Amino acid sequence: MSTTVSSSRPGKPQPGANGTDTRAAAVSAKPVTWKTPLLLTAFGLVALVFFGLLAPSRTASFGISTGSDFFQLPALEVNAFAGGLVLSILLLGLAAYAVFLRTRDRQVPGWLTVAFIVLFTAAFLIWVVGGARTPSISLAGLIAGSVTLAVPLVFGSLSGVLCERVGVVNIAIEGQLLGGAFTAAIVASVTQNPLIGLLAAAVAGAVVSMVLALFSIKYLVNQIIVGVVLNVLVSGVTGFLFSTVMQEDSDRFNSPPGLDAIEIPVLSSIPIIGPILFRQSLVGYLMYIAVLVVWVGLFKTRWGLRVRAVGEHPQAADTLGINVNATRFWNVTLGGAVAGIGGSFFTLVAIDSFTKEISGGRGFIALAALIFGRWNPFGAFFAALLFGFADNLQSIVTIIGTPVPSQFMAMLPYLVTVLAVAGLVGKSRGPAASGIPYVKG
């Protein structure tokens, strides 16, 4: 899914390119556009007006420690007005620096965007909590919940990374998650062993992926079509079997034993970090491992170099003796297995039974996280965390009662993604050959 931001489209030149041929610029160097600086400025102003000037002068309190912690830290208390003002001025400072860089024809560095997002989120959080009926939330709970909600998203977007890096667009993440969730539930119920359920979920995800690979690589069917159709197919098959098999005898087929959280003594009691790093289910720990392994694998090993070569320039890779289509097939399969494990999170960790459409569109959010994270495992991980955060915040703010309707909070990840693909995160470019089938000769 190449979301090339540098417009190779005809007609309008990029704003600020001032008539220079952007296509030529794209060839010679990365085009430096006004887009990011302007967007940052706009968001900085929004922050100043809403989070700063219009913020209520109340104290927002963020609990850091929970009762079970190793040592207690006092709750963080911020005046919403002052906090919002300070943060929005910092945001405008960052935006001004981006504008300054643009005037020197320099690219906006990645750290700047990241810092901007973090500060903006903080300002937003203070504003939301400050305006709530009960202006107090547990930061620890918010973050821990975000990580939990992000687990399937991370696995899904890792699956996307593995597939797209090798040149196959994976729209079927949703189907892989759903297939994994279903299989994990039924196998774990029958065997009464969650570990076997976990394995079966990986196999199910891989099977869905193999269909994707078979049709898109062997039969050269458009990859997006196969992905879309596979989502429907998996939804239909799991829905059918849920109604006919699981509901008939839910004790036997739909009551999987769950994977409990494994606590690492002492470490799990560190405030904030403890619960997210050292009090996770097996799937949660696997998530951290998977992110690391995929990153190391893709960028530090020979296998990864080959994978990326196939995804960027299959002809060249073929010339050098890499079997393009076999590489693609097995990578897509691997990606499916990863997403399948993510799917098992729904039925083995989060909820202890399967229901229809349990993945609820999270496969598409994972897809968004993948793009937002620029096809990088770590980027995808943090993007998924951000989406998990928005998801969790939505349910928390409905409890504490805020000025923002919860529907808008729920809308946030999607709006952010639209902004991301439209160019906020600078140039987001996918693997060059992603989505293009390779025919030798």
Closest CA to 201 of 212, 216, 191, 215: 191
DSSP string, 203-237: HHHHHHHHHHHIIIIIS---HHHHHHHHHHHHHHH
Of the listed pieces 78-86, 215-223, 282-290, 342-350, which binds another protein according to CB under 8 A? 215-223
Backbone angles phi, psi at 77, to 5 degrees: -120, 125
Residue 432 binding another protein, by CB under 8 A: no
**CB of 115 or CB of 436, closer to another protein:** 436
Neighbours of 326 (CB within 10 A): 11
Among 123, 230, 338, 380, binds another protein (CB under 8 A): 230
The Cα 351–Cα 368 span in angstroms is: 24
Binding mask 343-372 for another protein (x = CB under 8 A): -------------x----x--x--xx--x-
| Cα-based distances in Å from 265 to 278, 288, 304, 349, 355 | 8, 19, 36, 21, 34
Of the listed pieces 102-110, 142-150, 214-222, 267-275, which binds another protein according to CB under 8 A? 214-222
Residue 237 binding another protein, by CB under 8 A: yes
Binding mask 379-418 for another protein (x = CB under 8 A): --------------------------x-xx-xx--xx-xx
Backbone angles phi, psi at 108, to 5 degrees: -75, 120
Closest CA to 246 of 109, 370, 168, 356: 356
Q: Which residues pair with 279 in a beta bridge?
A: 263
Among 82, 96, 228, 322, binds another protein (CB under 8 A): 228
Orientation of helix 282-300 relative to helix 324-344, angle to 10°: 160
Among 86, 261, 421, 432, binds another protein (CB under 8 A): 421
Of the listed pieces 93-101, 222-230, 298-306, 385-393, which binds another protein according to CB under 8 A? 222-230
Q: Which of residues 297-326 bind another protein (CB under 8 A)?
A: 323, 325-326
CB-based contacts of 177, cutoff 8 Å, min separation 6: 152, 155, 156, 205, 339, 340, 342, 343, 346, 359, 362, 363, 366
Residue 9 binding another protein, by CB under 8 A: yes
Q: How far is the CB of 182 from another protein (least distance, A)?
A: 12
Of the listed pieces 90-98, 225-233, 258-266, 272-280, which binds another protein according to CB under 8 A? 225-233
Which two structure tokens, joined as six digits, stand for 395?
Answer: 């349910």
Pairing of strands 279-280, 262-263: antiparallel
Q: Which of residues 83-142 bind another protein (CB under 8 A)?
A: none
Q: How far is the CB of 105 from another protein (least distance, A)?
A: 21
Which two structure tokens, joined as six digits, stand for 194?
Answer: 């969650």
Q: How far is the CB of 355 from another protein (least distance, A)?
A: 13
The Cα 79–Cα 365 span in angstroms is: 34
Q: How far is the CB of 229 from another protein (least distance, A)?
A: 5
Residue 239 binding another protein, by CB under 8 A: yes
Q: Amino acid letter at 375?
A: W
Identify the DSSP state of 373.
T
Q: Which residues bind another protein (CB under 8 A)?
A: 1-12, 35, 171, 213-215, 217-222, 224-226, 228-230, 232-233, 235-237, 239-245, 323, 325-326, 328-329, 356, 361, 364, 367-368, 371, 405, 407-408, 410-411, 414-415, 417-418, 421-423, 435-437, 439-441
